[in-house]
Structure 1
Amino acid sequence: MATLCRPAVAVPEHVITLDQTLDLARTLHRDHPQLPLALRLIENTGVRTRHLVQPIDETLRHPGLTTRNAVYEREAKRRVPEVVERALGYAELSARDVDLIVYVSCTGFMMPSLTAWLINTMGFRSDTRQVPIAQLGCAAGGAAVNRAHDFCRAYPGANVLIVACEFCSLCYQPTDLGVGSLLSNGLFGDAVAAAVMRGRGGTGVHVERNGSHLVPDTEDWISYGVKDTGFHFQLDKRVPGTMAMLAPALRTLATAHDWDVSGLGFYIVHAGGPRILDDLCRFLELEPAAFRFSRATLTERGNIASAVVLDALARLFEDGSVADGTPGLIAGFGPGITAEMSLGSWTGSPLGAVRPAAIPLRQHAVDTADLEPEFGVAAAT
């Protein structure tokens, strides 16, 4: 049975607070007819701090897609290796023990994928398999866990490295002035995360079952408009209601495993916004504290896209209160509308924990609450 080990997480050094975000919105959009609504929505996200890969003045400038994508590649190569090294250490493995790398990101593009660069520079074997996932958005964190589980089932004893690299701030579009876009400007943050799924041994979550669910005819609810200026995030006003459609899928998966989704010991889910978590509490008949790790991620780091589930899982390790055999759920939600879900049980005692934000990034040198129904705070790409 495959075990998802403790994740390593790192956030960039540039921090923007809620007050700074609101002040910027008032300054940049002082004449926007719906500015009061946008400010109210941003305040209601629950996000208090976010981390950015560039200083705010550089984040707000749009030098063009070519320059932005070069920043993505440069910063990924600077920041990912240290996180990978920590994740391998937590799993008590070396790079040469890894059989597959699953790399997820929706905020920049490289071909070949960063996986090729990692294999060439970090000592992974040349026969290491690569699975880059670029188009599942926030659901990709859950999808990475599921594809790792599938691989470990197909190849017993194999080890899989999962890497999530999201620089959402590089998708800022100053000309996108819809309320949904203004809300997104106050919601998304940047982060890098990695975790290892061990085919044998390890401490963490023994993944026992996984599943996917796509809500029919919702593929345009969360999407990118790909234009000369890059990726333009598009959020439909119907997205806040998606948990009514996805919560039953969570229950169905648990029931098929002879578990009660309302009676599990831990829940690690993508926190796109507070309404997602509040609705899950209602539909799954859970107390708000059930999603405390996801809420903490949202409050301290914002919506960090595919990295959310790994950040929230790292907080579960840090908490250290889960007993052996405790059943739990991991789920990512994103474009499609898609849910990627897995069930597993805790095994072993958590490793010694340090808060991810307190661990400095090692820079690698390289060559190059109720809201208005029409715009609720939703899980997003």
Structure 2
Amino acid sequence: MPVLCRPAVAVPEYTITREETLELARTLHAGHEQLPLVLRLIGNTGVAKRHLVQPIERTLAHPGFEARNAMYEAQAKARVPAVVAEALYHAGLEARDIDLIVYVSCTGFTMPSLTAWMINTLGFRTDTRQMPIAQLGCAAGGAAINRSHDFCAAYPGANALIVACEFCSLCYQPADLTVGNLLSNGLFGDAVAAAVVRGSGGTGVRLEHNGSHLVPDSEEWIAYKVRETGFHFMLDKRVPGTMEQLAPALVDLAARHGRDAGRQDFYIIHAGGPRILDDLAKHLDVAPDMFRFSRDTLTEYGNIASAVVLDALRRLFDEGGPAAGATGIVAGFGPGITAEISLGSWTGAEPERPSRETVPLGAPRSAPLVSPLPTTATVAR
């Protein structure tokens, strides 16, 4: 069965703390009639720090949708190669071993997809399949895992690469004073993550079953309104309570395959906010500590959209991983309202790895990939 290997995760070098975010909200929106509510919501996110692709002064400016999207493309091309190389190294593969690239992002747009640039630049074969996913938001990390699983099951022995590139700070809208948008200003962070799904071999989560669930008539709960200034994030007040509808989907999928969703050994869950995790723990009747990897991602990086599940999985690897055969659930939640759910178990031994010098990066590691934009990324291990 396909195996989801150790992810690589990189966060940009610029940071903003919760205290700095709250002070900015007080300063920028001093006259807002709902400021006390906004401050309380931001304070309750559980986010202590977030990473940004630009200094906060540049983040707060809005040079226009065109300039923002150009920044997205430049930053993606600067930061994706090293993360991809790290993910390939963890999986013991090289670019030429990859048969499918699933690229997920909801914070910028390019056509052709960045997958074409990656194939042309980073040493992938020209017959590598491309699967860009742009409109599943935070659920896209789970969707990428599930579509990679499906592909590797359909083509035994094939390998898939997942890349999640999210620069949420480039969606900041200074003139949008809706409560949902102001909350997002204190919740979302920037990150790039990548992971390989090996068709055979490898250490990590053996992907055994997957499923999707859509909450009926919830299309407007999480959405973008595309306006002249770009993507405007819309967040309905009903979103924090969605686990009442989504938890049964996890329970049902697990039960169909002879499992108890509340008695798994590990959980890799999208951390949209602390209430999502608290409610899911309650509905599944599991200890809150079982979601510690997701909580740590939320605390240290904020909601990094589709990259959350990969970072939470990275933290499970960093802890040493569970015992062989341990069972678990991976789940991403996002617009729709959509859940993408995987059932798996822990397997494998560390693969033989290619020399780092043989992993194609498209440019020497010591050389800046884009100038004069800042390009240094911290690879989270």
Per the alignment, in what secondary structure is the counterpart of residue 11 of structure 1?
Answer: strand
- Residue number in structure 2 paired with 1:378: none
The reply to whether residue 214 of structure 1 matches residue 187 of structure 2 is no
Superposed displacement of residue 363, structure 1: 7.0
- Pair 1:266–1:173, CA change in 2 (3 A): same
Superposed displacement of residue 348, structure 1: 3.1
Superposed displacement of residue 367, structure 1: 7.9
Verify the 8 A CA contact 1:207 1:343 in the aligned structure 2. Answer: yes
Verify the 8 A CA contact 1:81 1:364 in the aligned structure 2. Answer: no
- Residue number in structure 2 paired with 1:171: 171
- Pair 1:364–1:105, CA change in 2 (3 A): farther
- Residue number in structure 2 paired with 1:371: none
Q: How far, CA to CA, are the matches of 1:286 and 1:139 in structure 2?
A: 22
Deviations 1:187-206 (A, max 9, x none): 00000000000000000000
The reply to whether residue 107 of structure 1 matches residue 111 of structure 2 is no
Verify the 8 A CA contact 2:50 2:190 in the aligned structure 1. Answer: yes
Verify the 8 A CA contact 1:78 1:363 in the aligned structure 2. Answer: no
Verify the 8 A CA contact 1:99 1:159 in the aligned structure 2. Answer: yes
Q: How far, CA to CA, are the matches of 1:112 and 1:220 in structure 2?
A: 28
TM-score by length of 1: 0.92
Q: How far, CA to CA, are the matches of 1:187 and 1:332 in structure 2?
A: 17
- Residue number in structure 2 paired with 1:365: 369
Per the alignment, in what secondary structure is the counterpart of residue 303 of structure 1?
Answer: coil
- Pair 1:338–1:362, CA change in 2 (3 A): farther
Superposed displacement of residue 175, structure 1: 1.0
Per the alignment, in what secondary structure is the counterpart of residue 261 of structure 1?
Answer: coil
Q: How far, CA to CA, are the matches of 2:57 and 2:342 in structure 1?
A: 40
Verify the 8 A CA contact 2:101 2:161 in the aligned structure 1. Answer: yes
- Pair 1:41–1:363, CA change in 2 (3 A): farther
- Residue number in structure 2 paired with 1:22: 22
Superposed displacement of residue 346, structure 1: 0.4
Deviations 1:302-324 (A, max 9, x none): 00000000000000000114100
- Residue number in structure 2 paired with 1:302: 302
Deviations 1:316-363 (A, max 9, x none): 000114100000000000000000000000013579xxxxxxxxx977
Q: How does 1:177-326 map to 2 (within 5 A)?
A: 177-326=177-326
Counterpart of 1:122 in structure 2: which amino acid?
L
After superposing the two structures, state which structure 1 stretch, 142-151 or 35-44, moved more. Answer: 35-44
Q: How far, CA to CA, are the matches of 1:158 and 1:227 in structure 2?
A: 41
Q: How far, CA to CA, are the matches of 2:350 and 2:226 in structure 1?
A: 42
Q: How far, CA to CA, are the matches of 2:40 and 2:366 in structure 1?
A: 37
Q: How far, CA to CA, are the matches of 1:108 and 1:332 in structure 2?
A: 20
- Residue number in structure 1 paired with 2:4: 4
Verify the 8 A CA contact 2:202 2:349 in the aligned structure 1. Answer: no
- Residue number in structure 1 paired with 2:375: none
Per the alignment, in what secondary structure is the counterpart of residue 247 of structure 1?
Answer: helix
Verify the 8 A CA contact 1:79 1:363 in the aligned structure 2. Answer: no
Instruction: Give the paired residue count.
Output: 359
- Residue number in structure 2 paired with 1:377: none
Verify the 8 A CA contact 2:201 2:348 in the aligned structure 1. Answer: no
Counterpart of 1:275 in structure 2: which amino acid?
R
- Residue number in structure 1 paired with 2:59: 59
Q: Which runs of 5+ in 2 are unaligned?
A: 352-364, 373-381
Per the alignment, in what secondary structure is the counterpart of residue 263 of structure 1?
Answer: coil
Q: How far, CA to CA, are the matches of 2:315 and 2:49 in structure 1?
A: 17
Q: How far, CA to CA, are the matches of 1:184 and 1:362 in structure 2?
A: 35
TM-score by length of 2: 0.92
Counterpart of 2:311 in structure 1: which amino acid?
D
Q: How far, CA to CA, are the matches of 2:108 and 2:85 in structure 1?
A: 22
- Residue number in structure 1 paired with 2:38: 38
Q: How far, CA to CA, are the matches of 1:247 and 1:6 in structure 2?
A: 26
Q: How far, CA to CA, are the matches of 1:48 and 1:282 in structure 2?
A: 24
Q: How does 1:97-176 map to 2 (within 5 A)?
A: 97-176=97-176
Verify the 8 A CA contact 2:202 2:350 in the aligned structure 1. Answer: no
Verify the 8 A CA contact 1:324 1:349 in the aligned structure 2. Answer: no
Per the alignment, in what secondary structure is the counterpart of residue 103 of structure 2?
Answer: strand
Per the alignment, in what secondary structure is the counterpart of residue 210 of structure 2?
Answer: strand
Per the alignment, in what secondary structure is the counterpart of residue 12 of structure 2?
Answer: coil
Superposed displacement of residue 85, structure 1: 0.1
Q: How far, CA to CA, are the matches of 1:104 and 1:259 in structure 2?
A: 29
Per the alignment, in what secondary structure is the counterpart of residue 307 of structure 1?
Answer: helix
Q: How far, CA to CA, are the matches of 1:54 and 1:195 in structure 2?
A: 25
- Pair 1:320–1:56, CA change in 2 (3 A): same
- Residue number in structure 1 paired with 2:362: none
Q: Which runs of at least 4 in structure 1 moved beyond 2 Å after TM superposition?
A: 348-351, 361-364
Q: How far, CA to CA, are the matches of 1:20 and 1:96 in structure 2?
A: 44
Deviations 1:148-180 (A, max 9, x none): 000001000000000000000000001111121
Verify the 8 A CA contact 1:79 1:364 in the aligned structure 2. Answer: no
Q: How far, CA to CA, are the matches of 2:216 and 2:262 in structure 1?
A: 25
Counterpart of 1:261 in structure 2: which amino acid?
A
Counterpart of 1:50 in structure 2: which amino acid?
R
Superposed displacement of residue 240, structure 1: 1.2
Counterpart of 2:369 in structure 1: which amino acid?
A
